[in-house]
Structure 1
């Protein structure tokens, strides 16, 4: 896992699980041996966390774990810098029952590409695990999920401890199995990675559910269990030992900012502080603003777990009360920046991106997932174009084709809160429709100072390249 760059060295973290009866493995680099620190011990399993660093500039940097050598590319200042972006690694129901080779088809492709041309960075944009089914581990959490009228306030301290134990066992096992698949594991152990959680890393719709559910003892236990495992498996950390790359070290949010040679990666946390009428607190907004100020005049990859540019979803929301059964999708629509409940914050975000581009000279590219489709969008600025690239999901199946067409129709209608800065949704280069309904992931390449991007789709393969310096002249 990526822990940032200090002077001429990249800091990395590695998480290794072992039986409590086994000794810690030895981790070696050319600088010697690096110690293990135990950050988790439960169920007869121990998690060792290694913090180590490698020199920048190596095409074949390496570390050895118990004699097995793993290559890591750290030549960030070289002629080429290769990045992959993935999201939505799972599905709501039956993920553990899928055939492994079918589930991990695109992980296998990305692994093959990495073997041919090593990646320098892997970005994971949310829903790295689908925790939805862990709510089956206890009757109270299943009722909390299914019964709209049950908030989860009538439980005892003993009940909560039993709930915590049941959820923790289930989620821990789920992480071990799914992130233990070699197709993904081989990449995670050899490519410095930054990951941000989204709702399914907690439960479907977390933050957009009724506040009575979110703040109840049962709801808070669900969140705390998910948070512990997100920090452990995706950050190699604990709540009292957060990475220095995080913007807010107090633990209320887990947004990150990493500066690499010629590149800033900014990843706000849009889930921890979310409420039905709020995406981020003022503290979250302040941290995001300061990160963009730090990156002024540079190239920024802004990872937004929810697409910032999108279609006119307020039209769909307005029909929720008249379409039978549609209310169950209300939290999914509230998750979106384009929801009428978040329009003020959406406008605030768009204004901040325009200011970064036009006043601060920052080249911002938005990377997003969440919607289980691939698409792209543009935000017109006075000095050029902010591109948004959406890649989702790497293992989640696409929704019914009719939903992709509905979104395409809504995109045609348009929705631009800033009249002088129109938003347009676009198809992948060479693809006929605005939304591509195939499993997918994204690759980015910096070569000779020029940034380009490609999508890899399950059926159509590699898209035509998109020049991230291009201007959308159609608006």
Structure 2
């Protein structure tokens, strides 16, 4: 007889319970690693928001020999059940974890299956081949101030996310660029109890001397977590973020509407600073995948507070300046960041193409007259901060010219084709600044969820877009017609794809509710 303690009689140790995933995986692109050619690797971070304090298992990634250990990023405990309607923040202990790995790349496109060790759940990462022209998607405005208006307009919230996901499954994307307003946090005024007294005060400037109620910090953390859960756990955006590595840059609605364009005494008040701190923490953790003390490899800024980022993909450079962290009524970027901009650009001088993400369009009709009229009226007008957000606001006019001159100078010196990618205005459009030795292209795409403006607003914008403007140094600004009718604005929800061509050009196509690729432009 076998001894009672022989291996055949021993009970196997029970496997630990699989992690409870609240959100994720969220893939964040970290760029290529190694020399050009088949030895290159595609570097990625995968972030998971998990319930409980237990350390999750290692990640097994196809093509990566060793298991990938988790890295702890942040913990929240016992947050209140605050959040959008029907999406309260989960209770208990919440922890965010990050896995960093580099997948080998061949000449052709590949894929890598990844999963937790001893877990049946798995996901597939798109890995760009080193000899394949890049395939990139650009999205913005992934929510709405009041999502009831989406259904009221006869639209399905995630219809375009579903289109993008279907396209990715047919021909995998290499990189997803998320250009701002990934979430809409504005509902905090109605849903965060500690802000009740402030939200009841409709006159913004009267809020400067008012104190918030107790528990503000934890309620704000709960609000932003629940807001991200609402936006990013829905099936289509969740599947895209699990399969395509992305680079994200924020805009005002990721904080609150108009952040940075309100008067300093309002933004510096304790309640508004608490809102900004919670929004910044959520953006840093969820959108950049960056812990408290470890800068992401993509972040370029030499010092806080900026999150400006950049990376390379198969000869195409992507630069995403942070246009919110330093924004005030009188500046978009600080003088120190403006001084760094030419140095950042020089890192992409060997690229044939540079895609520069500007959350607010750089090349677009100006609304200076409308803003000046509002400034003459007493009180803080509803649209005033929206107009001041624009690069062409009178408050930012000189800085706008400075940035364009820096870009034009870089394009002339390097021979790089510079294209600006923007969202924010809930329309599709393409603009051009041209003149002796200068050509800067603007592509506008928004929103993938937010409905477009309608009626008289579109008619007015079309008339403004039809004007040909003379600038300085014999430069002209034009919004290019994108339809046989001469129409210059795409007044439908839309997203953008940018695909490399064999001859080295890029082809940009807008995909909207009723038009798929009929709006297109070649970037040569």
TM-score by structure 2 length?
Answer: 0.84
Query: In 2, are the aligned partners of 1:160 and 1:217 still within 8 Å (CA)?
Result: no
Using the alignment, how far apart are the partners of 1:218 and 1:120 within structure 2?
41
Please point out which of 62, 78, 88 is paired with 2:112. Answer: 62
Whether 1:32 aligns to 2:66 is: yes
Report deviation, 1:312: 2.5
> Structure 1 residues 90-99 or 177-186, which shifts more?
90-99
Indicate the SS of the match to 1:33. coil
Using the alignment, how far apart are the partners of 2:150 and 2:519 within structure 1?
34
Indicate the SS of the match to 1:312. coil
Query: In 2, are the aligned partners of 1:141 and 1:218 still within 8 Å (CA)?
Result: no
Please point out which of 37, 44, 50 is paired with 1:12. Answer: 44
Partner of residue 12, structure 2: none
Query: In 1, are the aligned partners of 2:429 and 2:488 still within 8 Å (CA)?
Result: yes
Report deviation, 1:326: 8.7
Please point out which of 169, 187, 212 is paired with 2:222. Answer: 169
**Structure 2: stretches of 5+ with no match in the other structure:** 1-27, 35-39, 77-91
Count of aligned residue pairs for this structure pair: 466
Using the alignment, how far apart are the partners of 2:53 and 2:216 within structure 1?
28
Using the alignment, how far apart are the partners of 2:397 and 2:250 within structure 1?
22
Using the alignment, how far apart are the partners of 1:225 and 1:142 within structure 2?
19
Partner of residue 49, structure 1: 98
Partner of residue 72, structure 1: 125
- Seen in structure 2, the aligned counterparts of structure 1 residues 452 and 166 have a Cα distance that, compared at 3 Å, is same
Report matched runs for 1:2-151 at 5 Å. 2-7=29-34, 8-20=40-52, 24-29=56-61, 30=63, 31-42=65-76, 43-57=92-106, 59-66=109-116, 67-94=120-147, 102-136=156-190, 137-140=192-195, 143=198, 146-151=202-207
CA-to-partner distance for each residue in 1:358-384, whole Å, 9 max, x for gaps? 233121011000000111101104346
Using the alignment, how far apart are the partners of 2:45 and 2:196 within structure 1?
33
Whether 1:370 aligns to 2:424 is: yes
- Seen in structure 2, the aligned counterparts of structure 1 residues 41 and 139 have a Cα distance that, compared at 3 Å, is closer
Indicate the SS of the match to 2:73. strand
Larger radius of gyration: 2
> Structure 1 residues 376-385 or 316-325, which shifts more?
316-325
> Structure 1 residues 413-422 or 137-146, which shifts more?
137-146
Report matched runs for 1:229-244 at 5 Å. 229-244=282-297
Query: In 1, are the aligned partners of 2:150 and 2:156 still within 8 Å (CA)?
Result: no
Report matched runs for 1:239-278 at 5 Å. 239-278=292-331
CA-to-partner distance for each residue in 1:18-66, whole Å, 9 max, x for gaps? 2206651431122231001221222422222111111133522213213
**Structure 1: stretches of 5+ with no match in the other structure:** 470-475
Using the alignment, how far apart are the partners of 2:377 and 2:478 within structure 1?
28
TM-score by structure 1 length?
Answer: 0.92
Indicate the SS of the match to 1:258. strand
Report deviation, 1:267: 0.4
Partner of residue 37, structure 2: none
Report deviation, 1:128: 0.2
Report deviation, 1:80: 2.8
Indicate the SS of the match to 2:271. helix
- Seen in structure 2, the aligned counterparts of structure 1 residues 203 and 141 have a Cα distance that, compared at 3 Å, is farther
Using the alignment, how far apart are the partners of 2:383 and 2:129 within structure 1?
43
Partner of residue 472, structure 1: none
Query: In 2, are the aligned partners of 1:430 and 1:463 still within 8 Å (CA)?
Result: no
